[in-house]
Structure formats: C-alpha cells, structure tokens
Amino acid sequence: MDLTEQTKQLKQHIDWLKDRYETTPAPENRKDKQLFMRVKEETTPIYDLLENWETEALKAVKARNVNVHPQQIASTKENAELFMMHSYYIDVRRKRYMELHRSIHYIFDQLLREL
C-alpha cells in the first residue's frame, strides 16, 4: 500500500475515532481489563498502519517528494497515538482533543496535496 492510500486510511480511522469520542460515554473504570483488551484489539491494526505510514512518510520527506519536516511526521505519529487512547479513555478536555484532531488532519492533508 502506498503512502497516499495509507494516509487516506489513517484519516478515516481518525474520523471514526473522533465519532467514537463524541458518542461514547467515558468508561466507569479505566483499569478494566476487558476495556483494555478491546482497546488493544481495535487499535493494533491502526498502530501498525501508523508505523508503516511513518516509515513511508519519512522516505518521501528524505526524497524531497513532500515539503514536510521530519519532526512533523514524528509529531503527527505521536499525536495520533495519543488521540487513539483519548478516544477510548475519554480522559482529556474536548478542546485539547480537537486540537490533536486538527493537527493530525493538517499534516495528512498537506501530504495528500503534495503526493
């Protein structure tokens, strides 16, 4: 799968997670083993895709195919990982959550425009 396709898929995951955040109540017990197992099961494919995306995006940056700084790629990956966890545990204020959402989409959209 190429970088464009990976980026589009990640955008869909991020939007799905945002919907989840907005429609699901916070868990009563954040240390619940079943919740942890469900989160792990649902996010593992997204984490794997994110790892591959970072590798491919950094290659594109190095080849000067896109005008994005390598630190922006690393930060976007970190933000997406945080975003995933906040989507399940709902443990951050909405303003911060939406800032993460916007910053992730900003870099994804910039990559898609330039690819």
What 8-state DSSP symbol labels residue 104? Answer: H
Classify residue 24 as exposed, middle or buried by CB count within 10 Å of its CB (0-12, 13-18, 19+).
Answer: exposed
CB 53 within 8 A of CB 7: yes
* pLDDT at residue 103, rounded to an integer: 98
The amino acid at residue 45 is P
* Residue 99: half-sphere exposure toward Cβ, Cα within 13 Å: 5
Percent residues over pLDDT 70 in the chain: 100
CATH number of this structure's domain 3-114, picked from the four choices 1.10.10.10, 2.30.40.10, 1.20.200.10, 1.20.120.440: 1.20.120.440
* pLDDT at residue 5, rounded to an integer: 98
pLDDT band per the 50, 70, 90 thresholds, residue 82: very high
| Mean pLDDT, residues 45-55 | 98
Percent residues over pLDDT 90 in the chain: 97
Each domain of the chain, given as residue ranges in start order, spans 3-114
pLDDT band per the 50, 70, 90 thresholds, residue 33: very high
